[in-house]
């Protein structure tokens, strides 16, 4: 369970003395919903196998090195709304998708600050699931567009919208308005 939610409180008492309370932010809980499920599991394995060396960290920012086939440099930083991340591996540089190195560093950074990492149930629930269709299925849709399965097209469009971008075509109707199944039979 992720037990710590990010929050900052400033309280002013009767005499005007200001108290500033800071509750630790959880990097892993902020990254979960933006990360591909398989990438998360690979990052977790990297963290468990001791690939992560933290160079420096505080409650706002971490710089780390992840050793694998190559060494990569990772920076995670809390922003007012959410978290920003960077890694110099080709996967991150090409797509800006969260890579296993970022996940591994987030897990170790949270651990170092005494924040528990998300459990398996939460990982299953929050991470981006694998695609419902293979590249081959998609190619087949394009080969015979007139007889393409509209349900497949709709699910693919919904998945595209999962990345946080809600596109206007992501909720396609089950049938075009001008078609009725009865007319098509005759
Ligand atoms: Zn990376």
What is the whole-number distance in angstroms between the Cα of residue 104 and the centre of ligand 1?
Answer: 9
Model confidence pLDDT, tens digit, residues 142-162:
888 888 888 888 877 776 665
What is the whole-number distance in angstroms between the Cα of residue 71 and the centre of ligand 1?
Answer: 9
pTM reported for the whole predicted model: 0.68
What single string gives the DSSP state of each residue in 57-109? E-SSEEEEEEESSSEEEEEEEE-SSSEEEEE-SHHHHHH-PPPHHHHHHHHHH
Residue 170's Cβ-count burial label (10 Å; 0-12, 13-18, 19+) is middle
Q: Kindly tell me if the per-residue pLDDT of 88 is higher than 90.
A: yes
SS3 25: coil
Q: What confidence score (pLDDT) does residue 180 get? A: 57
* CA 186 from centroid of its chain's CA atoms: 48
Residues around the ion ligand 1 (C-beta < 5 A): 87, 89, 92, 99, 101
Residue 54 binned pLDDT confidence (cut-offs 50, 70, 90): very high
What is the whole-number distance in angstroms between the Cα of residue 34 and the centre of ligand 1?
Answer: 14
Q: What confidence score (pLDDT) does residue 166 get? A: 40
What is the whole-number distance in angstroms between the Cα of residue 53 and the centre of ligand 1?
Answer: 14
Q: Kindly tell me if the per-residue pLDDT of 135 is higher than 70.
A: yes
The residue to which tokens 């990345």 are assigned:
163
Q: What confidence score (pLDDT) does residue 57 get? A: 96
Cα–Cα dist 58/77, whole Å: 10
What is the whole-number distance in angstroms between the Cα of residue 31 and the centre of ligand 1?
Answer: 14
């Amino acid at each position: 369970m992720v037990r710590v939610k990010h929050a900052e409180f400033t309280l002013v008492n009767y005499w005007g003395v200001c108290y500033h309370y800071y509750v630790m932010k959880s990097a892993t809980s902020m990254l979960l919903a933006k990360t591909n499920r398989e990438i998360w599991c690979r990052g977790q394995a990297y963290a468990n196998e001791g690939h992560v060396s933290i160079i420096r960290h505080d409650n706002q920012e971490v710089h780390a090195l992840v050793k694998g086939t190559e060494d990569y440099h990772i920076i995670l930083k809390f922003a007012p709304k959410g978290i920003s991340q960077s890694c110099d591996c080709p996967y991150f540089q090409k797509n800006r998708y969260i890579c296993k190195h970022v996940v591994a560093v987030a897990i170790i950074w949270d651990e170092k600050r005494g924040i528990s990492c998300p459990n398996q149930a939460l990982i299953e629930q929050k991470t981006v699931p694998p695609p419902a269709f293979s590249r081959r299925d998609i190619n087949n849709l394009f080969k015979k567009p007139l007889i393409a399965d509209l349900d497949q097209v709709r699910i693919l469009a919904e998945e595209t919208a999962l990345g946080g971008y809600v596109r206007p075509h992501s909720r396609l109707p089950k049938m075009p308005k001008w078609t009725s199944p009865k007319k098509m039979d005759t």
